[in-house]
Amino acid sequence: MKEILILGIETSCDETAASIVKNGREVLSNIIYSQIDIHQPFGGVVPEVASRNHVKKISSIVDMAFKEANLKYGDIDAVAATYGPGLVGSLLVGLSYGKSFAYAAKKPLIGINHIDGHISANYIGNNEVEPPFVTLVASGGHSHLIYVKDYDCYDVLGQTRDDAAGEAFDKIARTLGLGYPGGPAIDKAAMKGNPDFVQFPRAYLEEDSYDFSFSGLKSAVLNYLNGMKMKNLGYKVEDIAASFQMAVVEVLTEKTIKAAVDFKVDRVCLSGGVACNSLLRKMMKDKCQAKGILLDYPQPKLCTDNGAMIASAGYYKYVKGDFAPENLTAMPNLKI
């Protein structure tokens, strides 16, 4: 089989990333420039700052990807670039660069949905993961439950109706003074806390719904903290973090397992930055084992935004001849 080399470019938020992946599964290079330190003082991503830094870094990041892979520009077969969803200014930088690179190198351009990239991260370095399976995509901007029928063929079973899981983590971490990004900070603090200290609400919604909702939980935590302050009562930040995290993870896990059972699949995958959460991985593993379901998730570097997942998704579009038109543009609200 001919080796297919895809250059993946990802700039949907605040990571400038480029990667070269062989046949959708083998990473030859994966370069990520993170802007966390830049946005940390603001407690979140500032869109204009993010896009300006992408402009500064994109060329050097792509050059580093080719150098690490020991390849020349002409060695790749196609360029895959994220065109949505995400911050429009950030998306435009990566997509414009990808279009220019593809044109200059006389290679086809492949437009990638960012969520498709997160799903495809599960294929990298793991030949056992093949559709069909159910995947939870949970990150700062997304909370989707998806039935993966085939490569690049999905049924969206449910999604958040308000805050994404990662967004809720960021907001509660900021309230608790734990800093940004909130996911790792909450996870670390929760390890020293009591998850049963407060029974925060779990929003399961309608009986058969696979959707998520975390705005009520967020409000419940804020109301609890305000009430404690008004009563001049103390609390341990670690206990609040652990109780909040448990409320989020229980809902994510139970809905994912329900979907796997309902759709009669024997494999569950996790995707997105929240997939790094230690409690989510443990609880999902325990529940999957109890049901005889296999569980897979990418290594941490492939859970957060990266170019390898975009290149992997690009491979499966390449083999189908699904190339992007010349007028492809950024779509910040793109659906999967």
User: 120-135, pLDDT tens digit by residue?
Assistant: 999 999 999 999 999 9
What is the domain range of residue 104?
5-122+303-318
How distant, in Å, are the alpha carbons of 49, 170, 229, 283 from that of 277?
A: 28, 13, 29, 10
Both 143 and 289 in a single domain? Answer: yes
Short-list 86, 97, 21, 85, CA closest to 54: 97
Both 156 and 93 in a single domain? Answer: no
- Answer yes or no: are the C-beta atoms of 251 and 138 closer than 8 Å: no
Both 100 and 209 in a single domain? Answer: no
Both 200 and 275 in a single domain? Answer: yes
- Summarised one tens digit per residue, pLDDT across range 48-83 is 999 999 999 999 999 999 999 999 999 999 999 999
Give the residue-averaged pLDDT of 14-24.
97
Any domain includes 178: yes
Any domain includes 323: no
Give the residue-averaged pLDDT of 189-205.
95
Short-list 6, 7, 11, 35, CA closest to 94: 11
Q: What is the C-alpha to C-alpha distance for residues 179 and 171, in angstroms, rounded to an integer?
A: 10
Tokens of 184: 């790792």
Any domain includes 327: no
Both 97 and 153 in a single domain? Answer: no
Tokens of 247: 């409320």
Any domain includes 325: no
Any domain includes 284: yes
Both 226 and 255 in a single domain? Answer: yes
- Judged by DSSP in three states, 106 sits in coil
Short-list 220, 318, 320, CA closest to 24: 318
Q: What is the pLDDT of residue 142?
A: 82
Q: Which helix (H) or strand (E) holds 22?
A: strand 15-22
Both 116 and 263 in a single domain? Answer: no
Q: What is the pLDDT of residue 335?
A: 92
41: which DSSP letter?
Answer: G
Both 198 and 251 in a single domain? Answer: yes
Both 258 and 138 in a single domain? Answer: yes
Both 18 and 136 in a single domain? Answer: no
- The CATH number of the domain holding residue 18 is 3.30.420.40
Both 110 and 150 in a single domain? Answer: no
Total domains in the fold of the chain: 2
Both 143 and 276 in a single domain? Answer: yes
